[in-house]
A and B are shown apart, each in its own frame.
Chain A
């Protein structure tokens, strides 16, 4: 007979693992299309006389967008489950439908934004739409499947009182917010401005002057996701995975007031750790200096 706590911890670990994959895929999906924060520079590039071949996926911010994909996927999955379909197939089909909706929103965002930049002579390259949208949908599918799956586990095995679509919606918003705040830095600051010295900050004169030429040929969203898969994606996965794992861990191991106290202690440790990393980074890299040693930024 397996101790129930072992079983519970296994479920907690599974939700954490699913969330880690979801976070990584979510961030990489947003990098293929340049959604969220880095999008403003992609939008600005053409207006500053730097036409480009980078996908302009301005659907909305990542949190509302992922709220919609996950709510759609979970809605379709709930209906199929109510019709007695197996859980695995129901979630898979729901996520597929949500990925198609994501693809359709991507097309309208890219084509709409490009057409609205007529005066800046930004062409609409159709091979980009055909090449990027399947990659966006594929990354999105993984993220949506994992989020809906761990929401289902929370709903059915951990006794969460919310229905599946609502829970998936809330976790979708959380995943989008984490992807937007964690992963975007790697793409926006590091990849888009790869030609600037590390840590120099973004001078207003460089606005829109993003890297438009790649290792071979013109740079596109697929090149960007290749670079971001190294750090930005995994870090986002770790952040979402830790959020889901630690939150479920404290509610599984503790009860009543102790759960809240454990939560507060975790938050305190994270704040301290963040501060230490920030201080260490500032000491190591410091303000950007020019060749004479004077502070520039």
Chain B
């Protein structure tokens, strides 16, 4: 671990608020895509992408909180664990209604709950068996797994236009776009803290990266949906454009925050002198 870390991470937005923002925002975005079926269109698919961004921000904040206990090189690993848990829970949760007769609408909630249970088990194993002894491990793993599942469902819904597994299987899994959803989702959760890691890391800057990267993957998901037969081109284009607009806004904000937080931003120059470093 290369940072001066080892304690809880602070920041403007409290963990509880982040959980509400991510879980409610993520699920709301996913469920609002049901407007597609209600109005017999696919134009509302971009809302799945917005939901995925909310969940990614929550996931990135959870990674930030758990990794500030000294997981330097473990940051990417924890992101991959998130989506590993997320993909199992997502596929299970979305398929269960199809095979058991439960209404399809319950799919995302089942995925979310299953992800939380898997997260809790992994968290308990990390602390009790591997003896990592990180105080917030169990809670964080539940959060990361839940956020991972919501990011996956959100992005898949943005591509397929529905969270029904009957729509997701041909549009996302058989086309191979699941690879983009999996690794893109993982990177939106793990990259922000990895990119901003250091003793002077700030929550607003880190979470801004999560929004901009989530938006970038959302734009790609929109482009991918152009190859899906059940989606019309306008819906895919709208998802891409909305993603790009959010990306521009948050990338500019990130650069502003980087200038604010840096010791010195200069066009070019020599290294600081010995006197300056003292």
Q: Are B213 and A105 in contact (CB under 8 A)?
A: yes
Tell me the bound Cα distance from A195 to B79 in angstroms: 36
- Interface membership of B40, Cβ < 8 A: no
Given A111-B254, A111-B255, A113-B197, A76 and B176 touching (CB < 8 A)? no
Q: Are B195 and A113 in contact (CB under 8 A)?
A: yes
Contact of B212 (CB < 8 Å), options: A52, A78, A108, A218: A108
Q: Are B180 and A75 in contact (CB under 8 A)?
A: yes
Tell me the bound Cα distance from A108 to B188 in angstroms: 12
- Interface membership of A263, Cβ < 8 A: no
Closest A residue to B188 using CB positions: A68
Q: Are B262 and A114 in contact (CB under 8 A)?
A: yes
Tell me the bound Cα distance from A65 to B251 in angstroms: 19
Give chain B residues whose Cβ lies under 8 Å from the Cβ of A108: 191, 195, 209, 212-213, 251, 254
Tell me the bound Cα distance from A166 to B184 in angstroms: 13
Given A59-B191, A79-B224, A115 and B205 touching (CB < 8 A)? yes
- Interface membership of B80, Cβ < 8 A: yes
Contact of A126 (CB < 8 Å), options: B3, B196, B209, B265: B265
Q: Are A115 and B180 in contact (CB under 8 A)?
A: no
> 1/0 contact trace for A89-128 toward B, CB 8 Å?
0000000010001001100110111111111111111110
Contact of A113 (CB < 8 Å), options: B196, B265, B267: B196
Tell me the bound Cα distance from A162 to B186 in angstroms: 21
Q: Are B191 and A123 in contact (CB under 8 A)?
A: no
- Interface membership of B36, Cβ < 8 A: no
Tell me the bound Cα distance from A112 to B192 in angstroms: 9
Tell me the bound Cα distance from A111 to B192 in angstroms: 12
A residues 31-66 near B (Cβ < 8 Å) are 40, 43-44, 47, 49, 51-53, 58-61, 64-65
Chain B's interface size range is 35 or more
> 1/0 contact trace for A124-157 toward B, CB 8 Å?
1111000000000000000000000000000000
- Interface membership of B150, Cβ < 8 A: no
Tell me the bound Cα distance from A117 to B2 in angstroms: 11
Q: Are A112 and B220 in contact (CB under 8 A)?
A: no
Tell me the bound Cα distance from A186 to B84 in angstroms: 32
Tell me the bound Cα distance from A101 to B174 in angstroms: 24
Q: Are B227 and A78 in contact (CB under 8 A)?
A: yes
- Interface membership of B97, Cβ < 8 A: no
Q: Are A68 and B268 in contact (CB under 8 A)?
A: no
Closest B residue to A217 using CB positions: B270
Give chain B residues whose Cβ lies under 8 Å from the Cβ of A43: 2, 197-198
- Interface membership of A250, Cβ < 8 A: no
Among B79, B195, B261, the one with the most A-chain Cβ atoms within 10 Å of its Cβ is B195
Give chain A residues whose Cβ lies under 8 Å from the Cβ of B174: 163
Give chain A residues whose Cβ lies under 8 Å from the Cβ of B227: 78-79, 82-83
Give chain A residues whose Cβ lies under 8 Å from the Cβ of B205: 112, 115
Given A60-B76, A78-B176, A116-B199, A83 and B226 touching (CB < 8 A)? yes
Q: Are A64 and B272 in contact (CB under 8 A)?
A: no
- Interface membership of B16, Cβ < 8 A: no
Q: Are A125 and B177 in contact (CB under 8 A)?
A: no
Contact of B262 (CB < 8 Å), options: A124, A164, A169: A124
Q: Are B271 and A109 in contact (CB under 8 A)?
A: no
Tell me the bound Cα distance from A163 to B118 in angstroms: 29
Tell me the bound Cα distance from A169 to B83 in angstroms: 15
Q: Are B176 and A167 in contact (CB under 8 A)?
A: yes
- Interface membership of B266, Cβ < 8 A: yes
Given A105-B213, A111-B254, A124 and B265 touching (CB < 8 A)? yes
Q: Are A67 and B176 in contact (CB under 8 A)?
A: no
Complex A-B: 27 CB contacts under 8 Å: A40-B72, A43-B198, A51-B277, A53-B271, A58-B194, A60-B79, A64-B79, A67-B183, A68-B183, A71-B184, A78-B224, A78-B227, A105-B187, A105-B195, A108-B195, A113-B197, A115-B202, A116-B196, A116-B202, A116-B261, A118-B262, A119-B200, A122-B263, A124-B265, A126-B265, A165-B176, A169-B179
